Amino acid sequence: MKVNYYDKKIECMPREELKILQGKRLKEVVKRVYENVPMYRKKMDALNITPDDINTIDDIVKLPLTTKQDLRDNYPFGMFATDRKNIIRIHASSGTTGKLTVVGYTQKDVDVWTEMVARSLVAVGVKDTSTVHVAFGYGLFTGGLGLHYGVEKMGAAVVPVSSGNTQRQLALMKDFEADVLCCTPSYAIHLGDEVKKANMSLPKLKIGIFGAEPWTNEMRESIEKTFGIDAYDIYGLSEITGPGVSSDCVYKDGMHINEDHFYPEIIDGETLQPLKKGEAGELVFTTLSKEGIPLIRYRTRDITKLNYEVCECGRTFVRMDKVYGRNDDMLIIRGANVFPSQIESVIVDASGKVEPHYHIVVDRINNLDVLEIQIEMSQDLFSDEISKIEKVRKQIEGNMQSMLGLGAKITLVSPNSLPRSEGKINRITDKRKL
Ligand code: DLL
């Protein structure tokens, strides 16, 4: 397999050297926040620590955690660690509740972010001759502009389409001969449906770079089959920088975290204690070089695990598994933990009979949690006899029971009846919370 690097010396750096670099950067960033962000000074004073207590990367566990609530409490600019005149870009993300979380970037922050995205693109085989169709939203969301700058940096041509107007997107992809598509995986599925419906083909398309929401490996295979491409995962969050915190290489065996700038830990979401290497838990990041809004041990709420083995591609940067879901997305149904990704893998396994369009509804009826999963039938199944449809429904119900360890009502709905999304999709209605 052909392996390309944006900067091999850094991406394949021996881990002992990396640890030294991380330690040095951690020391600097802790000093910066202690001196410039009142919230961090308060938190560190409460723990009786000063920047002098931080000397190596292993000292990181002495530091306090940061949460989204901290950002909200300091809305909009209370966590900036530099003078406002040094800020050249502001992004924000809305999340499910409450105020926006606002982040500010200095020129150096934008430069680092841009380089991280360029690394991600090169790692999956994007070339300077490529044409990259960016259908992530442009605006306060970091997807569009994040990918955009990275594409320009590595010398490919960016088509900044943003989200929306699916028919126009398809026409432009065809006419401009895009070989790379960037968008959310749910939008890629929607685009794929439209391609099939129009009986068109996109013969130049080779690579898909998808992220901003959880998606399973089963979904990856389904998208790859639809378009005849290789589909790669890219991860990030605006609080840490945006897309490019980590991303796949050509081996698709975990996303390499750009550890020279973002230090990952996995903690137990309940006890908040670090977990052993390789255990699954909540991902926490410390930004090692940020100036605008450096964050110390930021709780992402994303659940994954880390693999420290050197990858076949030669990169030494740790790999994170596909995100299984978010702490706050995990459904607790009759006491059992259910991740939407488990549901998705059963649905995609039944492809051909059903489409990867689904919606999860949770309710409480007579004090009992009830889980319903609505799934779109394929056109073929929809036109079949009722008894065949019922057989498929029962089959999926059985598979779901084995996967989740609890009963779920499967409702097969007609094709094209569930909502589609141009950005991040919401696949859950939890009526218990309404
Ligand atoms: O979603 C940044 C991004 C844009 C990443 C484009 C990739 C591509 P936020 O809007 O701040 O930033 O949302 C961050 O989205 O904590 C995860 O829960 C989720 N997320 C992002 N990428 C992935 C992914 C952008 N590849 C939140 N897989 C994160 C699973 C993802 N979840």
Q: Same domain, yes or no, for 223 and 363?
A: no
Q: What pLDDT score does 98 carry?
A: 66
Ligand 1 within 6 A of 243 CB?
Answer: yes
β 180-183/207-211 pair status: parallel
Q: Same domain, yes or no, for 47 and 176?
A: yes
Q: Same domain, yes or no, for 162 and 251?
A: yes
Q: Same domain, yes or no, for 337 and 324?
A: no
Q: Same domain, yes or no, for 240 and 343?
A: no
Ligand 1 within 6 A of 283 CB?
Answer: no
| Range(s) of the domain holding residue 354 | 331-433
Substitution site in 101, 102, 142, 252 for ligand 1 pocket (most atoms within 8 Å of beta carbon): 142
Measured between alpha carbons, how far is 148 from 157 in angstroms, rounded to an integer? 9
pLDDT digits (tens, 9 = 90+) for 376-419: 999 999 999 999 999 999 999 999 999 999 999 999 999 999 99
Q: What pLDDT score does 366 carry?
A: 86
Q: What pLDDT score does 335 carry?
A: 86
Sheet holding 325-326, edge to edge: 262-267, 281-287, 298-304, 325-326
Q: Which of 239, 284, 232 is closest to 141 using CA atoms?
A: 239
Q: What pLDDT score does 320 carry?
A: 98
Q: Same domain, yes or no, for 145 and 119?
A: yes
Ligand 1 within 6 A of 216 CB?
Answer: no
Ligand 1 mean position, distance from CA 426 (Å): 13
Q: Same domain, yes or no, for 336 and 314?
A: no
Q: Answer for the pair 333, 362: CB distance below 8 angstroms, yes or no.
A: yes
CATH number, residue 406? 3.30.300.30
pLDDT band at 326 (very low <50, low <70, confident <90, very high): confident
Substitution site in 67, 100, 162, 235 for ligand 1 pocket (most atoms within 8 Å of beta carbon): 235
What's the whole-model pTM score? Answer: 0.93
The answer on pLDDT for 216 being more than 90 is yes
Q: What pLDDT score does 304 carry?
A: 97
Q: Which of 286, 283, 306 is closest to 297 using CA atoms?
A: 286
Q: What pLDDT score does 65 carry?
A: 98
Q: Same domain, yes or no, for 295 and 368?
A: no
pLDDT digits (tens, 9 = 90+) for 80-119: 999 999 999 999 987 655 678 999 999 999 999 999 999 9
H-helix segments, 14-162: 15-36, 38-46, 68-73, 107-123, 142-154
The residue from 328, 348, 366 where one domain ends is 328
CATH number, residue 19? 3.40.50.12780
pLDDT digits (tens, 9 = 90+) for 345-377: 999 999 999 999 999 999 999 888 999 999 999
The residue from 302, 328, 354 where one domain ends is 328
Ligand 1 mean position, distance from CA 366 (Å): 37
pLDDT band at 325 (very low <50, low <70, confident <90, very high): confident
The answer on pLDDT for 162 being more than 90 is yes
Q: Give the angle 287-107-131 at the CA atoms, nearest 5°.
A: 95
Domains identified in the chain, total number: 2
Q: Answer for the pair 246, 232: CB distance below 8 angstroms, yes or no.
A: no
pLDDT band at 25 (very low <50, low <70, confident <90, very high): very high
Q: What pLDDT score does 103 carry?
A: 98
Q: Same domain, yes or no, for 222 and 291?
A: yes
Ligand 1 within 6 A of 208 CB?
Answer: no
What 3-state class would DSSP assign to 203? coil
Q: Same domain, yes or no, for 274 and 360?
A: no
H-helix segments, 176-285: 185-197, 217-227
CA atoms within 13 A of residue 232's CA, in its CB half-sphere: 26
Residue whose CA is closest, atom 21 of ligand 1? Answer: 212
The residue from 279, 303, 328 where one domain ends is 328
Q: Same domain, yes or no, for 287 and 349?
A: no
Contacts 24+ apart (CB under 8 A), 188-193: 188/223, 188/227, 188/231, 189/219, 189/222, 189/223, 189/226, 189/356, 189/357, 190/166, 190/420, 190/421, 190/422, 191/135, 191/166, 192/223, 192/226, 192/227, 193/355, 193/416
Average pLDDT over residues 37-43: 98
Q: What pLDDT score does 362 carry?
A: 95
Q: Same domain, yes or no, for 279 and 422?
A: no
CA distances from 338 to 111, 203, 342, 363 (A): 39, 39, 7, 14
Measured between alpha carbons, how far is 180 from 165 in angstroms, rounded to an integer? 18
Ligand 1 mean position, distance from CA 35 (Å): 30
Average pLDDT over residues 324-346: 89
Average pLDDT over residues 174-193: 96
The answer on pLDDT for 433 being more than 90 is no
Measured between alpha carbons, how far is 172 from 168 in angstroms, rounded to an integer? 6
Ligand 1 within 6 A of 214 CB?
Answer: yes
